[in-house]
Amino acid sequence: MILIQKSAIIDFPACSFTLLRLTKVLTAEIGILSTKFVECLNKQEGDDELKVNQLVTNIYLEASNSSSYIQDGFQLLLPVLQQAAIERNQAPQD
């Protein structure tokens, strides 16, 4: 949405800072959700402890993978924002 805005005034440093905060919020939310899910699993009485431990390990592993994918995605967006800022600055002003 940042890249297709028609407004001539876009504060790219502010946009990049917003994306950084969004990345932090998303990764924190993944951590919170995985912890809540693990807490629910740990409350289950009578389940095989080994099975629960394997599930807990898998949940945290996948949460970590998800956080890495989100961080990588936003890192890959950085050159796109830089190019958009360069093109916006080089465009003739009306």
Residue-wise pLDDT for 32-72, tens only, equals: 999 999 999 888 766 688 888 899 999 999 999 999 999 99
* pLDDT value at residue 1: 61
Which amino acid, one-letter code, is at 32? Answer: I
Q: Which residues of 60-71 are buried (b: 16+ CB within 10 A; e: fewer)?
A: eeebeebbeebe
DSSP codes, 78-94: HHHHHHHHHHHHHSPP-
Where are the domains positioned within the chain? 17-78
What is the reported pTM? 0.74
